[in-house]
Amino acid sequence: MEFDLIELIRARTAQPRGDVALGIGDDAALLNLPAGQQLVACTDTLVEGVHFPRGTAPQDLGWKSLAVNLSDLAAMGATPAWAMLALTLPHADQRFVEAFAEGFAQLARTHAVALVGGDTTRGPLSVTVSAFGFVPENRALLRSGARVNDAVFVTGTLGDAAAALRLMRDSGLGARDSINEQARAELQSRLNRPEPRIAAGLALRDVASACIDVSDGLLADLGHLCVASGAGALIEADALPFSSAMFALFNSEERRAFALGGGDDYELCFTASVDRADRLSADFARLGFGALRIGRIVAEPGVRVRDAHGNTVETSRRGWQHFAS
């Protein structure tokens, strides 16, 4: 049965690439390596009830399991190439697998990613994807390059996925008029179908001094970037970017909490020298992605958030941590 499931997924995700000498079907894949490039490799697991709610549509799970890994490649400035998929299912459910494969394949096609290996096993529902891409030698974006006074940017909008989770939990919240329904759907889509910022990562190769993807919340992830760079950051709360759906459904305090501690954003947070920062926003728009300046790197360790009056904003939520009680 293992072979049938993998074959079914392979057929849906088939993505011809000249660098795949031997794909699924032998003991391992055989892959041709480009000259002058470094391999960028990452792996992430999604467990039902921990990383996604029970009842998540299998199409969405297929998409998201690849998206969270491509987001890591984006944060390195890499061009995606290949993926491997380890899918654990309580029982052999062909309809589930077909739908999962369809969602996975939709995103894989968008980024020309070939599924080159996999394993299907029986057990509690979880998905582990490994993703692989390339970056020219010594041009990868790292977490460790931020310097004091660098400007801090973030792509897209923050907190949408966390807001969607809140709405799912408090499903009686708010009037269910049509405007709210559209806003809810937009937030839900951000939770279930995150768009890895591959194009942004590529454009940032020659621009950013440091970069990380925001998966555990801005405070936590920018905190990692600061630690790796031996610095801290000061964030302007009023500069945080929000979607119109977020404005429609949540007040200022809620928005801020989702943005700082929510997680599941899969946006890129990056730094750039301040003399370049002023003209960067225009450049980003030309390159087809939005990025807003939200603060700057400081010498003092830690990430501090302040409001328009210069007062420090209390940030009790430090991002979602695995195994945190």
Site for its own copies in 40-59 (CB under 8 A): 40-51
Sign of CA dihedral 98, 99, 104, 110: positive
CB of residue 23 to its own copies, shortest distance in Å: 10
Residue 144 binds its own copies, judged by CB under 8 A: yes
Residue 114 binds its own copies, judged by CB under 8 A: no
CB of residue 295 to its own copies, shortest distance in Å: 20
Residue 213 binds its own copies, judged by CB under 8 A: yes
- b/e burial code for range 33-54 (CB count within 10 A of at least 16 → b): eeeebbebebebebebeebbee
Stretch that binds its own copies, among 140-148, 187-195, 259-267, 303-311 (CB under 8 A): 140-148
Residue 73 binds its own copies, judged by CB under 8 A: yes
Stretch that binds its own copies, among 26-34, 257-265, 282-290, 297-305 (CB under 8 A): 26-34
**C-beta closer to its own copies: residue 89 or 260:** 89
Choose, by CB under 8 A, the member of 55, 169, 314, 323 that binds its own copies. 323
Contact 287, 198 (CB under 8 A): no
Residues 6+ apart with CB under 8 A from 211: 75, 76, 77, 141, 142, 143, 201, 204, 225, 268, 269, 270, 271
**C-beta closer to its own copies: residue 88 or 273:** 88
CB of residue 79 to its own copies, shortest distance in Å: 12
CB of residue 191 to its own copies, shortest distance in Å: 18
Residue 102 binds its own copies, judged by CB under 8 A: no
Instruction: Write the single-letter amino acid at 138.
Output: N
CB of residue 129 to its own copies, shortest distance in Å: 9
| Binding to its own copies in span 252-281, by CB under 8 A | none
Residue 198 binds its own copies, judged by CB under 8 A: no
**For the residues of 232-283, what is the DSSP string, one character each?**
EEEEEGGG----HHHHHH--HHHHHHHHHH-----EEEEEE-HHHHHHHHHH
Work out the number of other CB atoms within 10 angstroms of the CB of residue 106: 16
Distance CA 197, CA 175 (A): 33
Residue 94 binds its own copies, judged by CB under 8 A: no
**C-beta closer to its own copies: residue 71 or 188:** 71
Residue whose structure tokens are 């909490």: 257
